[in-house]
Amino acid sequence: MDIKKITTAEDLEKAFSIRKKVFVEEQKVPVEEEIDGFDVLDGDCEHVLLTDDHGAVGTGRVRLVDGYGKIQRVAILIEARKNGYGKVIITKLEQLAAARGAKKAKLDAQVHAIGFYEKLGYTVQSEVFMDAGIEHVLMTKEL
């Protein structure tokens, strides 16, 4: 298993492919909401790619917002879940944010994933709200 910050257009395309399968095809998020202006190389977001023996299977991105590392688009292909890869992705994104000076991390967690983020030290900070047709809560963590 390998986790790395994305630095090439080829790897960014692999990340988009994972996100399309997970968010658009599996979770039915509208494709026009899935990709946004942060999805470029050398922009505000740092993207990561996790690869195993089957190829690229996981991704996520982080950027600094008001001193927080804001984590988004965390996705593991369905067949690769429950192997600890999600934890590896979050840890890498936290490290990237901390290296840029973030003291805390925040994310909008899908309600089904609250337990996943709680295991990684995040706590719920909001009521449930809707985004892209999916129930979410704000969660934060001290880095």
Ligand X SMILES: CC(C)(COP(=O)(O)OP(=O)(O)OC[C@H]1O[C@@H](n2cnc3c(N)ncnc32)[C@H](O)[C@@H]1OP(=O)(O)O)[C@@H](O)C(=O)NCCC(=O)NCCS
Q: Which residues contribute to the site for ligand X (CB under 6 A)? A: 22, 74-76, 81-87, 109-110, 112-113, 115-116, 119
Closer to ligand X by Cβ: residue 103 or 112: 112
Q: Which is nearer to ligand X, 17 or 83 (CB)?
A: 83
- Closest distance to ligand X from the beta carbon of 139 (Å): 9
- By beta-carbon distance, which residue lies closest to ligand X? 86
**CA of 5: how far to CAs of 15, 22, 55, 81, 94, in Å?**
11, 20, 16, 20, 12
- What would the two tokens of residue 10 be? 């080829």
Q: Which is nearer to ligand X, 101 or 125 (CB)?
A: 125
Residue spans of beta strands (DSSP E) within 13-122:
46-52, 55-65, 68-76, 104-110
Residue closer to ligand X by CB (options 49, 101) is 49
Q: Give kind and range of the element (H or E) at residue 139.
A: strand 134-142
* Minimum CB distance to ligand X, residue 18 (Å): 9
Q: At closest approach, how far in Å is the CB of 37 from ligand X?
A: 20
Q: Which of 42, 44, 38, 49 lies closest to 12 in space, CA to CA?
A: 49
CB of 110 to ligand X, least distance (A): 4
Say if strands 55-65 and 46-52 run parallel, antiparallel, or are unpaired: antiparallel
